[in-house]
Amino acid sequence: MFLNEKRNINLNGAILLFFYFFCAVFATIQLNPIGTTQSSNAVPCNTRPSSDNGANALVEQMRDRPPNAYCVQIESCTKLITQKPTFQKYETRPFSVGGFNWTFILEPFGNKTSYGDWISAYVAIDPLGLVGETREVYAALSFLVYSKTLDQYWTSMDTEVRRFHQFRTTWGNPTFVQHGDFQSPNREYIFNNDQCVFGVDINVYPYFNKWEVLSTDKTVHEPNSWKLMRFSTLDKDFYTSDEFSVGGKRWALKVYPNGNGTGEGNSLSLYVILSGNTNLKPYEKVYVQAKLRVLDQKQSKHLEKPILSWFDTPGDGSGFEQFVSLSGLRNPARGFVVDDALSVQVQFESLSSTNFYSSNDAQSMSTF
């Protein structure tokens, strides 16, 4: 009972000290030239007015989940860890995480502050793996030490994802855990005949190796026109123009002389169609901004309607079921049907194209 209370007090005290300390330390490390613009509601550093730059690089907590990358159990822990002079640096054998080789490093007297001595914990990446496409690696790190009394791990989690490269192969926490915790009477982290257990989480964030570039060509293209002769004699549901090529894709115009859908029997329907034979890449979508027109062959007062559409399936169309009413089409004041010919048109104003890349493709990599 008494022991439990004492332990809790110690632990809370330790957590407070940790926060207090890291807020101070990281405030100075992450010298932030525009830090004054940061608000002071950052947690947990807002308890310290002098370190309100929000640089909370560490979250510290107890957790159940064991380390995901490596674990070191040390016997005769007291001697090795807490009695000076001991070994200055313990580095594990290499282990593999995320396709890279790493080591876990413990420095029993790695750092000293006014609170006393600290055990430092680091990971080092094998720089032999840092070449070519993987010349830099991003990883999130947590360092853990097992508490027998709580059956949990004291965890110091770095909230910054760290960047490892040829010139920076080691990251870690110089003030991971305080010696005081190892020497306290209830021996928080030393158990079963002088054992202790340290561990590390390494979460590697893979660098993307595939990407796509969507570009939009804002060239206003020459209009593509199509003249339907002997219009009054056309008796099929629809007519499709010859194909034409714009923006690297094949297109056609499609006319329903007697209307389609809601236009049936009352309007002319007009569409632009992405040709069924076009060379759309898998997963490619084409953004199109265009004008559809029925030409006024007398006064050039063309009837024009804009379309704004994504095409992702060859054969798809975009247009209007009711482009112009059948009576409006035959209005003698306009020149839509002249000498029994109808003229329709599409003018592309903007078209997208997508290029897909992967880093296996050395050439595209070099142009990226």
Least spacing, CB of residue 129 vs ligand NAG, in Å: 3
CB 342 within 8 A of CB 290: no
Least spacing, CB of residue 228 vs ligand NAG, in Å: 16
Say whether residue 258 binds ligand NAG (CB under 6 A): no
Q: How many residues bind ligand NAG (CB under 6 A)?
A: 17
Taking CB under 6 A as the criterion, the residue among 19, 100, 189, 231 binding ligand NAG is 100
Say whether residue 248 binds ligand NAG (CB under 6 A): no
Say whether residue 126 binds ligand NAG (CB under 6 A): yes
Q: Give rounded-to-5 percent helix, strand, coil for the chain.
A: 20, 45, 35
- Token code pair at residue 55: 């640089």
* Window of 36-44, 94-102, 285-293, 351-359 that interacts with ligand NAG by CB under 6 A: 94-102
* Window of 99-107, 141-149, 187-195, 295-303 that interacts with ligand NAG by CB under 6 A: 99-107
Least spacing, CB of residue 128 vs ligand NAG, in Å: 5
Kindly identify the residues of this chain, within the stretch 9-28, that bind ligand NAG according to CB under 6 A: 25
Say whether residue 271 binds ligand NAG (CB under 6 A): yes
Say whether residue 111 binds ligand NAG (CB under 6 A): yes
- Token code pair at residue 66: 């064991």
Measured CA to CA, the distance from residue 267 to residue 329 in angstroms comes to 8
| Strands 244-246 and 239-240, sheet pairing | unpaired
Nearer to ligand NAG, 7 or 172 (CB): 172
> Half-sphere exposure of residue 188, counting CA atoms within 13 Å on the CB side?
22
Residue 130: count other Cβ atoms within 10 Å of its Cβ: 18
Taking CB under 6 A as the criterion, the residue among 35, 174, 180, 223 binding ligand NAG is 174
Least spacing, CB of residue 193 vs ligand NAG, in Å: 31
The helix/strand count (H/E) of the chain reads as 5, 22
Taking CB under 6 A as the criterion, the residue among 52, 60, 317, 337 binding ligand NAG is 317
| End-to-end Cα distance, the chain | 65
CB 69 within 8 A of CB 200: yes
CA dihedral 85, 22, 57, 61 (to 10 degrees): 80
Nearer to ligand NAG, 168 or 298 (CB): 168
CB 98 within 8 A of CB 139: yes
Say whether residue 254 binds ligand NAG (CB under 6 A): yes
Least spacing, CB of residue 207 vs ligand NAG, in Å: 14
84-114 per-residue burial string, b: 16 or more CB within 10 A, e: under 16: eeeeeebebeebebbebebbbbbbbbbbeee
Kindly identify the residues of this chain, within the stretch 128-147, that bind ligand NAG according to CB under 6 A: 128-129
CB 100 within 8 A of CB 122: no
Least spacing, CB of residue 225 vs ligand NAG, in Å: 19
Nearer to ligand NAG, 19 or 271 (CB): 271
Least spacing, CB of residue 63 vs ligand NAG, in Å: 22
Maximum distance among all Cα pairs of the chain, rounded to whole angstroms = 107
- Secondary structure (3-state) at 79: helix
- The footprint of ligand NAG (CB under 6 A) covers 25, 94, 99-101, 111-112, 126, 128-129, 174-175, 254, 260-261, 271, 317
